[in-house]
Structure 1
Amino acid sequence: MFFPESRVRVWLYARPTDMRKSFTGLEALARNALGEEPASGDLFVFINRRRTYMKVLYFDRGGYCLWAKRLEQGQFHYPRHQGEKVALDVTALKLLLEGIDASRSPRYKRYEHRTARPASV
């Protein structure tokens, strides 16, 4: 099972991706199309044209890792109208992996803990 940490940044490449690409091709997409450093430890998500296949590229200590998921039924739902590069949080990635369309479900206001301000000297 794939369990990303909550503090990791997730970048979705919203344009359809050729799933024949492997490490080198997806690394080039992350660097050139998304403008991010692939070895930073961030997750880079790529989805095919039919939205039935997903690959996640990330760098883990000594090298690149590639995680893939192919759906037997249904499609992945993601925000396709927000440009080429979409920032996701880990929760949105988990919803995407589970096939839940987050745009159709209401978002309620949640408590947010304020960070402590440093005392003025």
Structure 2
Amino acid sequence: MRKSFDGLSALAKQVLEENPLSGALFVFINRRQTQMRCLYFEGDGYCIWAKRLERGRFRVVLDGVAKERLDLNTLKLIIDGIDPHSVRRYRRYSHRESPTDTLSYGA
């Protein structure tokens, strides 16, 4: 995982087919699932957040797809080392999904 601002924004545009200037949070995880980088555009420039695990892996299953939409709660589970597919969520009322609650994710 050597890409930085320009490389990650190019991946968001070309591979994920999303506008990297949209303000969405783009999450990239390396093949070994030990490193994560998050890219977003904040008004006047790009921001990157990164995490490298010293032990273990991020539990992500893409089923052969390069892109998946996640909500912020699911991203929090992944960052905290919890497999989001093993968590049971109980149905609750939701007025509507806010645009800031959805993000694009790619490997």
1:86 aligns with 2:68: yes
**CA RMSD, 1 decimal:** 1.4
Matched residue, 2:36: 54
Larger-Rg structure: 1
1:66 aligns with 2:66: no
1-structure distance, mates of 2:23, 2:64: 23
TM norm structure 1: 0.74
1:35 aligns with 2:17: yes
1-structure distance, mates of 2:37, 2:85: 22
Q: How many residues align?
A: 96
Deviations 1:25-44 (A, max 9, x none): 11110000001000110000
2-structure distance, mates of 1:91, 1:110: 14
TM-aligned CA deviation for residue 110 of structure 1: 1.6
1:108 aligns with 2:87: no
% identical equivalent positions? 56
Which structure 1 residue ranges, 5 or more long, are not aligned? 1-18, 115-121
Deviations 1:83-116 (A, max 9, x none): 11100011111111111101012222123348xx
TM norm structure 2: 0.83
Which structure 2 residue ranges, 5 or more long, are not aligned? 97-107
